[in-house]
Structure 1
Amino acid sequence: MTEGKKFNIVIAGGGSTYTPGIVKMMLEHQDSFPLSSITLYDNDGERQAVLGEALAIVMREDAPNVAFSYTTDPGEAFTNKDFCMAHIRVGKYGMRKLDERIPLKYGVLGQETCGPGGIAYGMRSITGMLEIIDYMERYSPECWMLNYSNPAAIVAEACRVLRPTSRVINICDMPVGTRRRMAYIVGKDYDDLDVRYFGLNHFGWWTSVKDVRTGEDYMPRLLEYVGENGYLTQKAIDTQHMDASWIATHKKAADLLKLDPQFLPNTYLKYYLYPDYVVEHSDPDHTRADEVIEGREKEVFGAAREIVRKGTATGGEFTVDNHASFIVSLARAIAYNTHEIMLCIVENNGAIANFDDDAMVEVPCVVGMNGPEAMCQGKIPTFERGMMQEQVAVEKLVVEAYTEGSYLKLWQALTLSKTVPSAGVAKLILDDLIEANKAYWPELK
């Protein structure tokens, strides 16, 4: 892609609550990533239209030279596009509620990306992601997909197996949010930190945090701080992870550090290392899905309707999602071959020396015109490697269950998950999930 080019973007999942913030964020970065057009695509036209109508007003007022449209037609959405930014949620929040509540019936944690809920969501997401990839390749073969749809680990493994040559980069915003907290703790900006990290998506550890210019080692300060406070900060670092459940999650990092004191943990490890604690502090009648519906969902769609009612967005109803600026950074790295270092989910192929080559790992990558190239992280210790091997096997079994229509392999995946206590409990959960997901999963035999 050449200098002076303006880019055509399609956002797959145009009805997502994150779409307005991402659009506003892209508009703020036009000096470094100029836009020709933004198109929203969603298979739920009614939901997308609420945001689309409001964003049309935003675009008219803030960026009249950037073409804007929203559609449910794949040909219209994906033709002549440079980048597809994908954040789909197959089954929407209604299915997320079931993902969270069904396991809790059996004393197992209910969570969007971890354990049985993540497996259920993954089985739905694979179909949706393959559909979008196929649209992209049919209408814009040179387009890159930047996918941050959950559960990213299962989606990435499915892409590796089922679309191995596709231009898909799987990424996650959680390490970005935690890195912002680290920067605040040591009194620096996000870009001041040079970090090293290894793991799987929502399942990893920071091994090094240094000043990008001076080389000062911030790990001792961060380990001491997190050991006492978790990742809780006095200032709200981002708006996305500030609900009550997230505050508790950031705090729990202190306990994660006690078990594994040499590295800084990803907050999601609490679901694997303290699943009993999570269940004990869960309300089966009011899960994270309810929290999102009553909070972010209500706020974003309420703001959209208010913009449409007034016919103007000058009241600041939609806020800029600076937390998602990593998406533009990734697109810019590809477009301009900047070789920026970013965390991406890629096939291992030696990046972690003592781990399976075909595992989809999350590690620092140098990103340029050819996509991400993983940086070598060396060998990892036995504890972390053992946990990762178990979780990778779960993710591979889920994808095998999907492709083969295998009840047995999905049962094995649930049984192997560190969050599930026995094969018997796994079978009870699986049978309930199959019933709940009849409209979404392939038939299992």
Structure 2
Amino acid sequence: MKKQKLVVVGGGSTYTPGMIMSLIEEKENFPLKSITFYDTDVERQEKVAKACEVILKEKYPELEAFHYTTDKEEAFSNVDFAFVQIRTGGLAMREQDEQISLKHGVVGQETCGPGGMAYGMRSIGDMIELVNDIRSYSPDAWILNYTNPAAIVAEALNRAFPEDKKILNICDMPAAIMVSYASILKREIWDLVPEYFGLNHFGWFTKLYDKEGNDLTDEIKSHILNHGFLPEDSEIVNDPSWIKTFKQVKTMVTDFPEYLPNTYLQYYLYPQEMVDKEDVCNTRGRQVINGREKRVHSLCDQLIENKTTDGAHLEVDIHGCYMIRVAASLAYNNGDTFIVIVKNNGIISNLQDDAMVEVPAQLTNHGPKPFAVGKIPTFYKGLIEGQLAYEKLVVAAFFENDYNKALQALTLNRTVVNAPVAREILDDMIEANRNYWPELNGNLKVKEPASV
């Protein structure tokens, strides 16, 4: 089995130590020759990298090389896989996105609504530059992207690189939900076979089977309705915000029992309720800064100081394992099935072909082979078409520097709807993102005539 050369783009991410633990857990399935970290933030990456060096020395001694760098040529030359997890603007900009939204009485969340648009507009340019850089040094590498907001990023990358068949956009949220399903069923996540359709952070499980073909869907629905639903993945199991989010699934299944929803649908189905729960002074971004970021950096400091993993709380999470098993299926032609983001091309037959949809696909060394979904019911089709139009307009606004398309996007989004509010939010977002967004032109707002 060939050993792979991996670069982790965004090496300073707080998710990176968990990714390293997952690479160690999965090393028999995805053996590595080398790991390189790349980041533009020298100090942040160095802390995480030095901690990961301690972990790898003890738990992955057969790894031939590990290093970290801010040099693109050094990072991207002669690699087999690039795992991309960047956050342009960092958590500080995330918090600002959420505060601006909440100030206007609208959902403040990093990937949904105005926050998703702001984050997406920041991510697109850096993602395009990264793909070009990786391709200049490793033309045949697989680029596995899980940079958020994945739907907008996938739409933009498809527009910028329509012929590149070795870019795959992935989100671990369906897998994190399936971890909870597996707990209910007292099984392993890898024993479950999902049927699913939608857009990223905007989809539904229609069926869930085991590998023998037994339908487990009603058992899961019954458990959710009678006992509720809780997160089980190690990264979010004790997080109060995620616990509330998973509990909201019971409400969604009660109101719309046909399918099992992605947790992010709460923001689109109950936007006012979501706003009412939030605190503009303690947004989700602030909670991450004070929670996961501090925890991971403290862990890194401990590992660096002690030069050992003894006594350190290290966990494998689904975020990493899912990405690695996807990579293994691509590298070794395993043909395993995962939920990934692909161009529609008739998969959902009553949705436009150029939509970037999230569906199950068999992964081979020739790329994803998605399974047909067929026609979807009117309610779900209507929701998806509105969200898809929003995503396409955000991407168009970026590429065409078009203010009015950005305004149309926000007005369409179910978390906003109101055009005057959309304009106020957009203008605030433009001001806040002057160092990140392209300049948007063409504001056609008609001024009131001066009084005579």
2:217 to 199, 216, 219: 219
8 Å Cα contact 1:229-1:251 kept in structure 2: no
Q: CA deviation at 1:119?
A: 0.5
The question of whether the paired residues in 1 share the 8 Å contact of 2:176 and 2:318 is answered with no
Query: 1:125, 1:155 within 8 Å by CA — same for their partners in 2?
Result: yes
Identity %: 47
Scaled by the length of structure 2, the TM-score of the pair is 0.95
In 2, the alpha carbon distance for the partners of 1:61 and 1:263 equals 45
Trace 1:113-262 onto structure 2 (pairs within 5 A). 113-166=111-164, 167-213=166-212, 215-232=213-230, 236-262=232-258
Alignment of 1:45-444 (within 5 A): 45-66=42-63, 67-166=65-164, 167-213=166-212, 215-232=213-230, 236-444=232-440
Q: 2:5 aligns with which of 5, 8, 14?
A: 8
Kept in 2, the 8 Å contact 1:231–1:253? The answer is yes
Q: Which residue of 1 aligns with 2:28?
A: 31
2:361 match: secondary structure: strand
Moved more, 60-69 or 282-291: 60-69
8 Å CA contact retained: 2:29, 2:325:
no
Q: Which deviates the most, 333-342 or 321-330?
A: 321-330
Q: C-alpha displacement at 1:8, in angstroms?
A: 0.4
The worse-fitting range, judged by mean Cα deviation, of 157-166 and 375-384 is 157-166
Paired with 1:57 and 1:226, the residues of 2 have a C-alpha distance of 41
Give the alignment's Cα RMSD to 1 decimal.
1.2
**SS, match of residue 319 in structure 1:** coil
Residue 315 of structure 1 aligns to a residue in which SS? coil
Determine the structure 1 residue equivalent to 2:447.
Answer: none
Give the superposition deviation at 1:397: 0.2
Secondary structure in 2 matching 1:353: coil
In terms of mean alpha carbon deviation, does 82-91 or 24-33 score higher?
A: 24-33
Structure 2: gaps spanning 5 or more residues:
442-452
Aligned residues: 439
- Aligned residues of 2:23 and 2:320 also touching (Cα < 8 A): no
1:256–1:265 contact (8 Å) kept in structure 2: yes
TM-score (norm 1): 0.96
What is the Cα deviation at residue 72 of structure 1?
0.5
Contact 1:177 1:238 in 2 (8 A): no
What stretches of structure 1 of length at least 5 have no aligned partner?
none
How many Å apart are 1:323 and its aligned residue? 4.3
Q: 2: distance between equivalents of 1:386 and 1:229?
A: 31
